[in-house]
Amino acid sequence: MRSPKTGGERTSLVSWLNRVLSPRTPFSDPEGRKGLWTRFTHAPDHRLVTYRVPLAGIGARPWRAALLADLHVGGHAQDLRRLAAIVAETNGLEPDLILLLGDYMNMMPFGGGRIPPTTIAQVLARLSAPAGVLAIFGNHEWKYGRDAVADAFAAAGLAVVENEIVVVERAGERLAVLGLEDDCYGNPDLSLFERVPPGMPALVMTHDPGLYWDIPEGQVVVAGHMHGGQIRIPGLPAPVVPSGRAPRRWANGHIRERGGHLIVSAGLGVSGFPLRLGMPPEIVVVELVAP
């Protein structure tokens, strides 16, 4: 069942400003310079968050998937250096699998940092995991120009798995990973669920958690897009979330609804304005364990 709201029915001032004022593409600043904005745009420290999620068919040894979401590279000063450090840290976690959940581009309408997708992809190509590194795109890739970003990722050897099933392996054990296109801009192929090999555990990637309304019940889904609200007041729901069908209660964390599990990363970058308050950026590790 679809949510009673669609992305076109709920907008925010920030998303409207982004649509009206977004910088022209292609971006031509591989250094991501911030100029006068530098002193105001240094990234806060990020945290490492781990969730343990039961998944039928997983063996005695858990699968560990590292999630990198909403990097928006160039939103902060010295963001290329920061991205390289995040890549090195993620590799150091030694996950079985690394999942890139979209929104790699900085589309903020001010402050510079217009880093082209080729530069971003070259840094992300340093990621390494035994079962692979898989990527999907978010709304900002579609807004920038999906084909241009796809070409950059392909040239860097990064696997984009939108509307695909990829079976990854680890020491003879197999896991089906389903990548879906963005809920607002793409055309997610929900028929993938009918083609998962029988009895094989499956993990679902989507950028926007609003798609969770349409995904068959009982799935394990990982997503980003929401930034955890980006600004949070302790004890209160996110005052502002990106446009889409996801409710505020899905801003980040481990959501147990519709008979399944939805993990929403608060992401690593910023959108709209270069500020996080009460919601630090995060690398997320999901441990898939036997029920």
Residue 87, domain member (yes or no): yes
Higher pLDDT among residues 291 and 235, named by residue: 291
Please give the tally of structural domains in the chain. Answer: 1
Per-residue confidence band for 3, with pLDDT thresholds at 50, 70 and 90: very low
CA distance linking residue 136 with residue 78, whole number of Å: 25
Q: Could you tell me the CATH number of the domain that includes residue 17?
A: 3.60.21.10
Average pLDDT, the chain: 92
Helix axes 139-155, 117-124, angle to 10 degrees: 60
What confidence score (pLDDT) does residue 10 get?
43
Q: Is residue 2 part of a domain?
A: no
Residue 211: CA count within 13 A, CB half-sphere = 29
184, 244 contact by CB (below 8 A)? yes
Side chain identity at residue 215, one-letter code: I
Q: Give CA–CA dist 195/225, Å, rounded.
A: 27
Q: Check whether 193 has a pLDDT greater than 90.
A: yes
Q: What percent of the chain has pLDDT over 90?
A: 83
pTM of the model: 0.93
Is residue 222 very low, low, confident or very high in pLDDT (cuts 50, 70, 90)?
A: very high
Q: What digits encode the pLDDT tens for the residues 47-89?
A: 999 999 999 999 999 999 999 999 999 999 999 999 999 999 9
**Model confidence at 4, in pLDDT bands (50, 70, 90)?**
very low
Whether 276 has a pLDDT exceeding 60, the answer reads yes
Is 1 inside a domain boundary? no
Query: Which tens digit of pLDDT belongs to each residue from 134-153?
Result: 999 999 999 999 999 999 99
- Residue 89 backbone dihedrals phi, psi, to 5 degrees: -65, -40
Asked if the structure places residue 93 within a domain, the reply is: yes
DSSP type of residue 277: B
The strand pairing partners of 53, in sequence order, are 288
Domain span at 191? 7-289
259-272 pLDDT, tens digit per residue, is 999 999 999 999 98
Q: Is 80 exceeded by the pLDDT of residue 286? A: yes
Query: What local confidence, expressed as pLDDT, does residue 12 receive?
Result: 60
pLDDT-wise least confident of 2-11, 158-167, 195-204: 2-11
